[in-house]
Chains A and B, each alone.
Chain A
Amino acid sequence: MASYTSPFAPSTSKPGHGSIRIALLPPNTPVLRDVSYQYPLKLVAPDPLSPPESSPDDKSASANRHVAPSLIHTIFLLTYGGGIVAGDAINLNIRLDKGTRLILLTQGSTKIFKTADPKLVSRQKMSAHLQVGSALCYLPDPVQPFASTAFAQEQIYTLEDGGGNLCVCDWVTSGRSARGENWDIYTYHSRNEIWESPSKSNGKKKLLLRDNLILDKNGQTALGIVARMDGYAVFGTLIIHGPIFASLARFFMVEFEALPRIGGRNWGDDTIVPELSQREKWRKEREKREREDGLIWSAANVRGFVLVKFGSRDVEGARNWLRDMVKEEGSVGRMFGERAGMCLK
């Protein structure tokens, strides 16, 4: 084998591998230095757009402190056939240089197709390396594992010197509910990790956050996976970090604090309606929709991250809620443009 010399040029691309690199041309022009991919992965990069907030008269905007780049790149993560087939392995590397920004999107839910062998696990791995001052906004469609599937995905973010800004969501649905699928999967694992790059002093990288969801037959519950889900059809995690997303992070914390108490009594004070601010009106309407859609959520400020968890009785309820929250706060739209929230429409 070793003595065989291929007449073709060596290919560095392996099946399912892809890489994205955004570099910065001084003073502030980001360029897509590399975007490559190999079947079954496909990356589509539309023309970069100027951020809405870059207009010079908008000095009051908080994000201007972060020297916004002149262009924001967008990349769609796609797979041939619109989903992941049993045995597929996807491996994507992303590198964002200092001061660059990237919007990652999907086109429809990531469908996981049936496997004949429960032990044959399809995999998707994304590693993103963020230099100080760079930002990744990744608000994709949910993963939709069909019945009889085995899938494991990893999203590993490395923050150089602990810098870098993240607004990333990871959510999963119960399958094709129209076909009566309801968490009829073999296994579903999704791991989100955020690491601080190795420090110069001891050369060790440090785990900042790990969010690892494990759905499989283990757990001694003597019940199927669906019985652990308490009737919810969607679970999601939103991770927010860094100064660029500080306003969004604060917003989620404030709204969580403002949620009505569970089991609180109605003392009939509603008859005296105080003058509500616009935000309070929006909040009341949102809370009403949360109740109707059977959506519950929590937010926590831990280790410099705001971690939002949500569950919902159906997909659209969760999608609408997330869009509503991001839109009402507004900073993502102002800094990244409407495109950033495309998958939530």
Chain B
Amino acid sequence: MNIPTDDHQSLKDEIVDLERRLRDAKAQLSQHEPDITPSAIRNDAALHPLLLLADSALPLGSFAFSSGLESYLAHHKPSLPSASQVSAFHTFLRLSLSTLASTALPYVLAGYRDPWNIETLDNDFDASTPCTVARRASTAQGRALLQVWDRSFKTQYDGATKGNHAQTNGVHGGTNVAVDALAAFSTALRTSKNVNAHLAPLWGLVTRILGVPLHDAAYLFLFSHARTVISAAVRASVMGPYQAQSVLASSELQDRIRGLVEEGWNTKVEDAGQSVPVMDLWVGRHEKLYSRIFNS
């Protein structure tokens, strides 16, 4: 495989030449399509916070909660201990997403749309959460989200949003209102016993401040829940990590989340409620489990 030195050099030259011509051709082409670069910039202003919130390293402590999965599995022990619980898990995931969409999604949307109402939303969500276990899980994550906002995001999004951000993503001029509402809420949380800091309305408010479009915020809320439940299933030895990723990637899950966002888009918080009554029992009886690896 020895190539003579001259040939070697000429081949190298040719490669350099070809690469230069490719670069030039691309440059010429992009001059005729001036839209590519600006739109990419516009998209990543909204993409960046979405990636922050979708990161499983976001310290909300979600890994500690199974949202009733652990209790559900304990209530549905297969007759043979070796039998697979995968199909039971799929049923649970479906029901769990349905419940979250009917009970919490309206509060996410309202928290985003109506920042100054956050305290009432927080109270009403609290009044609508019937069991101690679910309330604990919701407020733990809501308070954690406030912490992340306060310690990590605030410096970046508090003032910077006045500039390019708010105008480019469709939340026109509403970001500062939301920042003020969140600051007032944080103060109330420190001073009043009646403030709980539930995750759903705060998720709406924080995503608005970060400039995530409403639809994405709602989609991500449900997606994160699905991811948490699926990840709990891995740790409860229901399925392996690759199978878990394939459930998460499936078009079935995508269609479901999309459909739920669409269904709930105009649901008023007054009409939020439980669509799977037995879910309250599974979640409520979590504390009766003999052994537990999750907090919910």
CA distance A261 to B286 in the complex (A): 10
CA distance A89 to B98 in the complex (A): 29
Q: Are A311 and B281 in contact (CB under 8 A)?
A: yes
Q: Are A235 and B278 in contact (CB under 8 A)?
A: yes
Interface segment among A140-148, A274-282, A294-302: the answer is: A294-302
CA distance A204 to B151 in the complex (A): 34
Knowing A296-B281, A300-B284, say if A219 contacts B289 (CB, 8 Å).
Answer: no
Q: Are B131 and A296 in contact (CB under 8 A)?
A: no
Q: Are A261 and B98 in contact (CB under 8 A)?
A: no
CA distance A228 to B277 in the complex (A): 8
Q: In the complex, which of the residues A189, A223, A303, A310 contacts B94, with contact meaning CB atoms closer than 8 Å?
A: A223
CA distance A208 to B98 in the complex (A): 25
Q: Are A220 and B290 in contact (CB under 8 A)?
A: no
Q: How far is the CB of B93 from chain A (nearest CB, A)?
A: 10
Is residue A13 contacting chain B, with contact meaning CB distance below 8 A? no
Q: In the complex, which of the residues A206, A214, A307 contacts B102, with contact meaning CB atoms closer than 8 Å?
A: A214
Q: Please indicate the chain B residues that have their CB under 8 angstroms from the CB of A299 in the complex.
A: 284
Give residues of chain B (102-160) contacting chain A, Cβ–Cβ below 8 Å: 102, 123-124, 126-132, 135
CA distance A298 to B132 in the complex (A): 10
Q: Are A212 and B128 in contact (CB under 8 A)?
A: yes
Q: Please indicate the chain A residues that have their CB under 8 angstroms from the CB of B276 in the complex.
A: 219, 228
Name A261's closest neighbour in chain B (CB-CB).
B290
Q: What DSSP secondary structure best describes chain A's contact surface?
A: strand
Q: What DSSP secondary structure best describes chain B's contact surface?
A: helix
CA distance A189 to B274 in the complex (A): 10
Q: Are A300 and B277 in contact (CB under 8 A)?
A: no
Q: Are A220 and B263 in contact (CB under 8 A)?
A: yes
Q: Please indicate the chain A residues that have their CB under 8 angstroms from the CB of B255 in the complex.
A: 220
Is residue A66 contacting chain B, with contact meaning CB distance below 8 A? no
Q: Could you say which interface size class chain A belongs to?
A: 35 or more
Q: Are B130 and A211 in contact (CB under 8 A)?
A: yes
Is residue B230 contacting chain A, with contact meaning CB distance below 8 A? no
Q: In the complex, which of the residues B101, B132, B259 contacts A302, with contact meaning CB atoms closer than 8 Å?
A: B132
Knowing A220-B98, A302-B131, say if A212 contacts B281 (CB, 8 Å).
Answer: no
Q: Please indicate the chain A residues that have their CB under 8 angstroms from the CB of B101 in the complex.
A: 219-220
Is residue B291 contacting chain A, with contact meaning CB distance below 8 A? yes
CA distance A303 to B196 in the complex (A): 11
Q: Please indicate the chain A residues that have their CB under 8 angstroms from the CB of B129 in the complex.
A: 302
Q: Please indicate the chain B residues that have their CB under 8 angstroms from the CB of A265 in the complex.
A: 290
A-B contact pairs, 18 of them (CB 8 A): A191-B273, A207-B123, A207-B127, A208-B127, A212-B271, A215-B275, A219-B275, A219-B276, A220-B255, A221-B98, A228-B95, A228-B98, A228-B277, A228-B278, A261-B288, A263-B74, A263-B291, A299-B284
Instruction: List the interface of chain A (C-beta within 8 A of B).
Output: 189, 191, 206-216, 218-223, 227-230, 232, 235, 237, 256, 259, 261-265, 296-303, 307, 309-311
